[in-house]
Amino acid sequence: MIDAINSLSSMTSNSIGTQGVTESRFVNTEQANAIADVDETGKSFTDYFAKVSSDAIATIKQGESASIAGIQGKESVQNVVQAVMDAELTLQSAIAIRNKIVSAYQEVSRMAI
């Protein structure tokens, strides 16, 4: 799953703009700031999606490293739980976004030409 998300960060396309994208479910404060940065610089939706996916990968990797450090006794339980919960929320958000994309693709493919 992480490799699939990571492969999206290498995609670049300027054909999809960010105007009209207003839904903000599953967006935390850091992601909202990233959205504001993208809108100000005029980058494409693909660039924004690549940044979000790389941030998601970093969050999941941070959760993994915190859990390993917790097992080794190098990290406090509170920090381990917080990092794992952040990683879980990120993974759930990525799965929800994937499901929405698949659903939208299926709906478009059922349309009459």
Q: What would the pLDDT profile of 8-60 be if each residue is shown by its tens digit? A: 555 444 444 444 444 445 555 565 555 555 555 667 888 888 898 899 999 99
Residue length of the chain: 113
Return the residue matching tokens 């693909």. Answer: 46
For residue 27, what pLDDT is reported? 53
CA 73 to chain centre: 30
Spatial CA neighbour of 55 closest among 79, 76, 38: 38
CA distance 61 to 58: 5
Residue spans per domain, the chain? 2-11+25-109
Higher-confidence position of 83 and 21: 83
